[in-house]
Amino acid sequence: MNGLEKIKLLDKIAIELQSSMTFSDIDNYFRGHGVPTQDSYPHNSKRSYAKDMLAMVDENKIFTIAGELGLVDASNLTDALQQVDVGFWKPGHFRLFLSHLASFKIQTSHLQTALRKFAISSFVAHEDIEPTKEWQNEIEAGLKTMDALAAILMPGFQESKWCDQEIGVAIGRDVLIIPIRKGLDPYGFIGKYQGIQANGKTIGEVAEAIFGTLVKSPKTKNKILLSLAGAVSNANSVEEAIEKISIFKTLEGIPISILDNLKQQVMENQHLIESKEFLRDFNSMLYKFNVQKLVVGKIKTETEWDDIPF
Which H, E and C letters describe the chain, residue by residue?
CCHHHHHHHHHHHHHHHHHHCCHHHHHHHHHHCCCCCCCCCCCCCHHHHHHHHHCCCCHHHHHHHHHHCCCCCCCCHHHHHHHCCCCCCCCCCEEEEEECCHHHHHHHHHHHHHHHHHCEEEEECCCCCCCCHHHHHHHHHHHHHCCEEEEEECCCCCCCHHHHHHHHHHHHHCCEEEEEECCCCCCHHHCCCCCEECCCCCHHHHHHHHHHHHHHCCCCHHHHHHHHHHHHHCCCCHHHHHHHHHHHHCCCCCCHHHHHHHHHHHHCCHHHHCCHHHHHHHHHHHHHCCCCCCCCCCCCCHHHHCCCCC
pTM for this model (two decimals): 0.72
207 or 78: which carries more pLDDT confidence?
207
Q: Tens of pLDDT along 125-143?
A: 654 334 555 777 778 888 8
Domain assignment present for 210? yes
Q: Are residues 282 and 191 in the same domain?
A: no
Q: For 19-42, what is the mean pLDDT?
A: 85
Q: Tens of pLDDT along 183-198?
A: 888 888 788 777 899 9
Q: Are residues 58 and 98 in the same domain?
A: no
Domain assignment present for 9? yes
Q: Are residues 77 and 131 in the same domain?
A: no
Q: Are residues 143 and 108 in the same domain?
A: yes
Domain assignment present for 295? no
- Separation CA 301–CA 3 (nearest Å): 55
Q: Are the C-beta atoms of 228 and 247 separated by less than 8 Å? A: yes
Domain assignment present for 153? yes
The pLDDT score that the predictor gives to residue 308 is 63
Q: Are residues 129 and 195 in the same domain?
A: yes
Q: Are residues 119 and 211 in the same domain?
A: yes
Domain assignment present for 305? no
Closest C-alpha to 157, from 124, 187, 178, 191: 187
Q: Are residues 22 and 75 in the same domain?
A: yes
The pLDDT score that the predictor gives to residue 135 is 73
pLDDT above 50 (res 280): yes
The pLDDT score that the predictor gives to residue 203 is 95
Q: Are residues 60 and 111 in the same domain?
A: no
- Among the candidates 158, 184, 216, a domain finishes at 216
Domain assignment present for 263? yes
Q: Tens of pLDDT along 163-174?
A: 888 888 888 888
Q: Tens of pLDDT along 61-114?
A: 888 898 888 887 655 544 554 444 556 788 889 999 998 887 788 898 999 999
Q: Are residues 212 and 246 in the same domain?
A: no
Query: The domain spanning residue 140 has which CATH number?
Result: 3.40.50.10140
- Separation CA 29–CA 106 (nearest Å): 41
Q: Are residues 266 and 162 in the same domain?
A: no
pLDDT above 60 (res 281): yes
pLDDT above 60 (res 298): no
**How high does pLDDT run on average in the chain?**
84
- Among the candidates 216, 233, 258, a domain finishes at 216
Q: Are residues 212 and 226 in the same domain?
A: no
3 or 161: which carries more pLDDT confidence?
161
pLDDT above 50 (res 264): yes
- Among the candidates 48, 83, 118, a domain finishes at 83
Q: Are residues 105 and 71 in the same domain?
A: no
Greatest mean pLDDT among 12-16, 78-82, 261-265, 280-284 lies in: 280-284
Domain assignment present for 142? yes
Domain assignment present for 89? no
Band of pLDDT at residue 124, cut at 50, 70 and 90 = confident
Residues of the chain with pLDDT > 90, as a percent, come to: 35
- State how many domains the chain has: 3
pLDDT above 80 (res 309): no
Q: For 193-213, what is the mean pLDDT?
A: 93
Greatest mean pLDDT among 132-136, 155-159, 216-220, 256-260 lies in: 216-220
Range of the domain at 252: 221-288
